[in-house]
């Protein structure tokens, strides 16, 4: 009985050790995922507003700030970062765990300005569904084609204490997190605690989980999607029909006129190409209908323009565009300059709006119209 109890205790201790050590690794992965999710969204969100390269700096800053509070008191990092000293390192015997004043990992993304496919930040385009791996969380997959535009962003974060010669993981050499030339970065592996006393041996390549810690990676992919809802503060004073919007030339100016009833035409013609709701509340989500009309209120500057189609007798919003608009509020829109596929940096979301009116058929129709609006205002959305 005593022997059975001893053997059972050994088994329970081994199980507890696995739970604790793998739990530390899982916590680190969840915390790393928060950083890469934030960074991927920020790279894409600032694509058009920050200019080339600047959005990567924003990504690194946002990822760094994920683990720093506003008062610069570092409260949480991407998992524990402990140091083993003394004893017999080769056998992990009699070593002491040293806990620094800040015992967590502070990730610093490399900018990867060359856009290398194995870099921390990679821009390009998501591969078609049939050509990409099922699990993009694997850090070394090629989920997007680098250099094929800037519609998608992949951000990686790595923790591995084992870096064979010529391997893709290299330590971030700049502790101040301001390197301009680095392609990849890597932190130390998540150290074992109870598992240090195990008999786990190195594998054929020399990796030892006892000596190098558990390798943990996190990956996020953000893709451009047509906007489905906006903040009212950013709405233009008029909506534009889909046919007219998609027939506009990107960046070209148009002079429009709004009648008292809300009908908007190209100056000198009588054909409806848009509609103004006057002083009423603007439509802010797909599926909204535009019923009340009036002269376009005074407005000037960049705006998010509702795009509508005629559906069952109503003007129904199926997406949004980006345009520079100047209106005098007396029925004259002296300038209308559309910008196709502009990325919304504030006040817009690609997430489905809640509470869409109409039947399931109506909602499906509006959603399909939104998905096929290739010149629409875009917003970043994480792929899962």
What secondary structure does DSSP assign to 222-239, as a single string? EEEEE--EE-GGGB-SSE
Cα 286 from Cα 308, distance rounded (Å)? 9
Of these ranges, 28-42, 59-73, 207-221, 286-300, the one predicted with the greatest mean pLDDT is 28-42
Coil, strand, or helix at residue 240? strand
250: tokens are 């990107």
Q: What global pTM score does this model have?
A: 0.83
Q: How far apart are CA 45 and CA 381, in angstroms?
A: 9
Q: How far apart are CA 197 and CA 183, in angstroms?
A: 36
Contacts of 72 (CB under 8 A, 6+ apart): none
Alpha carbons within 13 A on the beta-carbon side of 239 = 31
Give the pLDDT score at 182: 82
304 phi and psi angles, rounded to 5 deg: -95, 120
pLDDT at 22 over 90: no
Strand 299-311 to 314-327 pairing:
antiparallel
Model confidence band, residue 138 (pLDDT cutoffs 50, 70, 90): very low
Residue labelled with tokens 């084992």: 162
Among residues 172, 227, 205, 177, the alpha carbon closest in space to that of 373 is found at 227
Using CA atoms, how far residue 125 sits from 76, 120, 219, 343, in Å, is 33, 16, 16, 15
* Structural contact between residues 54 and 43, judged by C-beta atoms closer than 8 angstroms: no
Distance CA 63, CA 250 (A): 34
Of 67-71, 81-85, 332-336, the one with minimum mean pLDDT is 67-71
pLDDT above 70 for 141 = no
By C-alpha distance, which of 33, 28, 35 is closest to 188? 28
243: nearest Cα among 273, 215, 217, 269:
273
Mean pLDDT, rounded, for 29-47 = 89
**Among all chains, which residue has been given the structure tokens 């002491």?**
96
Q: What is the pLDDT of residue 377?
A: 96
pLDDT band of residue 320 (cuts 50, 70, 90) is very high
pLDDT of the residue at 167:
41
pLDDT tops 90 at residue 328: no
**pLDDT for the residue numbered 88:** 65
* Mean local confidence (pLDDT), 112-123: 87
Boundaries of every domain in the chain? 2-225, 229-382
Q: Which residue would you say has higher pLDDT here, 234 or 211?
A: 234
Answer yes or no: is pLDDT of 380 > 80.
yes
Mean pLDDT computed over 107-135? 79
pLDDT in tens, 251-278: 999 988 887 788 888 877 778 899 988 7
SS3 (DSSP) at 265: strand
Average pLDDT for residues 154-180, to the nearest whole number? 60
Query: Which position has the higher pLDDT, 334 or 372?
Result: 372
Strand partners, 304: 235, 322
**Amino acid 139: pLDDT:** 42
- Mean pLDDT over residues 334-355, rounded? 87
Whether 80 has a pLDDT exceeding 80, the answer reads no
Mean pLDDT to the nearest integer, 135-142: 48
Q: Residue 4: is its pLDDT beyond 90?
A: no
State yes or no: pLDDT of 345 exceeds 50.
Answer: yes
Is the pLDDT confidence value at 353 over 70?
A: no
- pLDDT at 220 > cutoff 60: yes
Rounded CA separation 49/370 (Å): 23
**Tokens of residue 125, six digits:** 């385009």
């Amino acid at each position: 009985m005593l022997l059975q109890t001893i053997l059972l205790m050994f088994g329970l201790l081994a199980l507890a050790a696995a739970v604790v050590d793998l739990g530390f690794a899982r916590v680190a992965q969840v915390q790393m995922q928060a950083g890469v999710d934030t960074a991927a969204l920020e790279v894409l969100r600032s694509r058009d507003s920050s200019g080339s390269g600047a959005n990567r700096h924003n990504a690194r800053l946002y990822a760094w700030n994920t683990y720093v509070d506003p008062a610069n008191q570092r409260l949480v990092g991407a998992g524990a970062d402990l140091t083993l000293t003394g004893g017999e390192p080769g056998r992990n015997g009699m070593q002491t765990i040293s806990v620094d004043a800040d015992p967590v990992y502070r990730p610093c993304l490399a900018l990867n300005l060359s856009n290398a496919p194995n870099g921390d930040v990679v821009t390009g385009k998501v591969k078609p569904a049939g050509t990409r791996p099922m699990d993009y969380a694997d850090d070394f997959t090629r989920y997007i084609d680098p250099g094929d535009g800037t519609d998608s962003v992949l951000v990686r974060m790595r923790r591995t204490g084992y870096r064979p010669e010529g391997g893709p993981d290299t330590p971030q050499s700049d502790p101040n997190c301001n390197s301009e030339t680095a392609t990849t970065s890597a932190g130390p592996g998540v150290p074992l605690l109870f598992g240090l006393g195990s008999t786990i041996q190195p594998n054929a390549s020399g990796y030892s989980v006892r000596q190098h810690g558990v390798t943990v990676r996190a990956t996020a992919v953000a893709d451009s999607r047509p906007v489905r809802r906006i903040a009212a503060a950013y709405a233009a004073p008029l909506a534009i029909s889909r046919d007219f919007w998609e027939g506009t030339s990107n960046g070209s100016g148009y002079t429009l006129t709004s009648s008292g009833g809300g009908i908007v035409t190209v100056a000198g013609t009588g054909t409806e190409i848009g509609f103004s709701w006057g002083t009423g509340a603007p439509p802010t989500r797909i599926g909204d209908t535009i019923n009340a009309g009036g002269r376009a209120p005074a407005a000037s500057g960049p705006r998010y323009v509702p795009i509508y189609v005629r559906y069952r007798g109503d003007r129904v919003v199926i997406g949004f565009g980006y345009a520079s608009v100047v209106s005098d509020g007396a029925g004259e829109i002296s300038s209308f300059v559309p910008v196709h596929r502009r990325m919304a940096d504030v006040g817009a979301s690609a997430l489905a709006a809640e509470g869409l009116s109409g039947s399931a058929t109506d909602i499906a129709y509006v959603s399909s119209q939104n998905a096929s609006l290739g010149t629409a205002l875009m917003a970043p959305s994480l792929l899962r």
